[in-house]
A and B are shown apart, each in its own frame.
Chain A
């Protein structure tokens, strides 16, 4: 589901000794983060921040439902569904707007993608408000 993030390949280190395995993993994560941060445009990072926001929001709601109560159930479904639905719409917007994916989406301009995103969001919000009660 994650779109191709960058063209810069993350270099993998050679098989390390067992004691250095965690450190190598941390190094890999660091270089991944650095590559992402430097090669992604700020507009895409904005969308990514929104995606992280939605994911965390959904996770917190789910944990609350599991730990505390799922009553009223329709409210939980509305809230969780809005997070998931909006995440899906935003992720598809991101993949369609990303200039690196131009070959995949030849006949969908970024503006058209945004219009689809806006329409889908409004319809999603309408159904979520119906279910919220």
Chain B
């Protein structure tokens, strides 16, 4: 999809080149003083080597530009026509700070254009010219023409020295676009294991102590297991022991899926053996009760 649109645009661009090349005819620069006296008035050359001398503008003076926009055909025999381009801009650019401003120029249907810079009412797009080491930096002024159906045109006009102004206002978020102070974070110290002796004694107490108590209690009880090794009961006991073994194996080695699979198989076996064992046991219990 992207490749297709790219091809389409390049075709359209090729189509534009065929339509003509924009350019200006008889561009003129004038600087008018405060009592309508002409301080400076001269034509502007289209050749880059004949760039106009820098213009120094007072707060009382007015800068005027006048030119006619024409479209030159590729064929030199065809006369160029006056056109009204889609975009006409005067660009002010200060190289050192990078500030720039673009002011649109109104062009009539006949291609005639007039631009006026009156410092009593400066355009909002005019870049600031603050005092830097007791002098202001020049703004390079250029003319930009753009059109959908013609090739574009750019002309560097002159350097403009304006009276000093306030510096550009600082954006409220400016501070956040510079490196911030590094964040210091103290992590919780790693948990320590207690002394080996203490934990060893604790382990012995927990593991061994209750067993000693249990064995002591059991010694007082006379336990009779008459049916423990009976053929109906023993498989059930063994499958319960196998379950415990499976769980210890799971703790040491197995994964969850495996233990669930083995557990399911063992569960089926245990269910079968358990049913036989417990039903037999129930039958014996009932027999014993009946005999009593």
Q: Which residues of A come within 8 Å of B, CB atoms?
A: 42, 45-46, 49-50, 52-54, 56-57, 60-61, 64, 68-69, 71-72, 79, 109-112, 114-115, 118, 122, 125-126, 129, 132
Q: Across chains A and B, which 10 residue pairs bring their CB atoms closest together, nearest first? A: A111-B278, A49-B217, A53-B214, A57-B210, A71-B191, A129-B251, A64-B202, A56-B210, A111-B282, A69-B194
B213/A52 in contact, CB under 8 A: yes
B218 CB contacts on chain A under 8 angstroms? 46, 49
Minimum CB–CB distance from B141 to chain A (whole Å) comes to 74
Q: How far is the CA of A57 from the CA of B250 in the complex (A)?
A: 24
Q: How far is the CA of A5 from the CA of B214 in the complex (A)?
A: 20
Q: B251 — nearest CB in chain A belongs to which residue?
A: A129
Q: How far is the CA of A68 from the CA of B195 in the complex (A)?
A: 9
A53/B210 in contact, CB under 8 A: yes
Given A60-B205, A71-B193, A118-B274, answer yes or no on A42-B250 (Cβ-Cβ < 8 Å): no
B285/A110 in contact, CB under 8 A: yes
Number of A-B contacts (CB under 8 A): 77
A68 CB contacts on chain B under 8 angstroms? 194, 198-199, 202
Interface of A, secondary structure class, is: helix
Q: How far is the CA of A115 from the CA of B205 in the complex (A)?
A: 32
Q: How far is the CA of A123 from the CA of B275 in the complex (A)?
A: 19
- B167 contacts the other chain (CB 8 A): no
Minimum CB–CB distance from A107 to chain B (whole Å) comes to 13
Q: How far is the CA of A52 from the CA of B217 in the complex (A)?
A: 9
Q: B281 — nearest CB in chain A belongs to which residue?
A: A111
- B290 contacts the other chain (CB 8 A): no
A61 CB contacts on chain B under 8 angstroms? 206
A64/B206 in contact, CB under 8 A: yes
A112 CB contacts on chain B under 8 angstroms? 278
Q: How far is the CA of A132 from the CA of B250 in the complex (A)?
A: 11
B214 CB contacts on chain A under 8 angstroms? 49-50, 52-53
Minimum CB–CB distance from A10 to chain B (whole Å) comes to 21
Chain B contacts with A in 146-199, Cβ cutoff 8 A: 191-194, 198-199
A53/B213 in contact, CB under 8 A: yes
Q: How far is the CA of A99 from the CA of B127 in the complex (A)?
A: 101
B198 CB contacts on chain A under 8 angstroms? 68
Q: A79 — nearest CB in chain B belongs to which residue?
A: B206
A109 CB contacts on chain B under 8 angstroms? 282
Complex A-B: 11 CB contacts under 8 Å: A42-B223, A45-B221, A49-B214, A49-B217, A52-B214, A60-B209, A109-B282, A114-B278, A118-B274, A122-B247, A125-B244
A71 CB contacts on chain B under 8 angstroms? 191-193
A69 CB contacts on chain B under 8 angstroms? 193-194, 199
A46/B213 in contact, CB under 8 A: no
Minimum CB–CB distance from A49 to chain B (whole Å) comes to 4
B206/A57 in contact, CB under 8 A: yes
